[in-house]
Amino acid sequence: MGSREERVARNESLFREANERINEAQEEDPTESEYLCECGDPDCTAPVSLTLREYEDVRREPTHFAILPGHEDPEIEKVVAWSERFVVVEKTEPKAARIATREDPRS
């Protein structure tokens, strides 16, 4: 994996960490909340609407990230779930998957 793929994986992990803080403030609210797109673009700060349950479903797997449709990077990830508001991607490139797992704040 080149340096670009590693940067992407680290950026996604940073956005996920920020979303963990947002999630802690939600207090079991079943309505949609605004999270940050967890795509690998370091300039993306787009909001992604998820319910607490949807966010928790994504977080069950350390290699899964919630992003806006169209923000996928097929070189290192594949779409494993989608809705009108967001898609869930899974890291498929081995080093990116290891980084995502290692930097998972819930591990």
Question: Quick check: 70 and 44 in contact, CB under 8 A?
Answer: no
Per-residue pLDDT, 27: 65
The answer to the question of residue 76 being in a domain is yes
The answer to the question of residue 93 being in a domain is yes
Q: Give the tens place of pLDDT for each residue, 2-15.
A: 677 788 788 888 88
- The closest alpha carbon to 62, from 81, 34, 88, belongs to 88
Q: Which residue has the higher pLDDT, 26 or 32?
A: 32
The answer to the question of residue 94 being in a domain is yes
Give me the domain span that covers residue 46. 3-102
Per-residue pLDDT, 12: 80
What's the domain count of the chain?
Answer: 1
Which tokens hold the place of 62?
């350390």
- When pLDDT is averaged across residues 81-94 and rounded to a whole number, the result is 94
Q: For the chain, give me the number of helices (H) and strands (E)?
A: 3, 5
The answer to the question of residue 54 being in a domain is yes
- The closest alpha carbon to 10, from 72, 78, 96, belongs to 96
The answer to the question of residue 107 being in a domain is no
- When pLDDT is averaged across residues 24-39 and rounded to a whole number, the result is 79
Question: Quick check: 89 and 78 in contact, CB under 8 A?
Answer: yes
87, amino acid identity: V
- When pLDDT is averaged across residues 73-87 and rounded to a whole number, the result is 94
Q: CA 69 to CA 17: how far, in whole Å?
A: 20
Provide the greatest CA pair distance for the chain: 40
The answer to the question of residue 24 being in a domain is yes
- When pLDDT is averaged across residues 64-80 and rounded to a whole number, the result is 95
Tell me: pLDDT of 66 over 80. yes
Q: Where are the alpha helices (DSSP H) in 1-107?
A: 3-24, 52-59, 94-102
Confidence band (pLDDT; 50, 70, 90) for 30? Answer: low
- Regarding pTM above 0.85, the answer is no
Average pLDDT, rounded, for the chain:
88
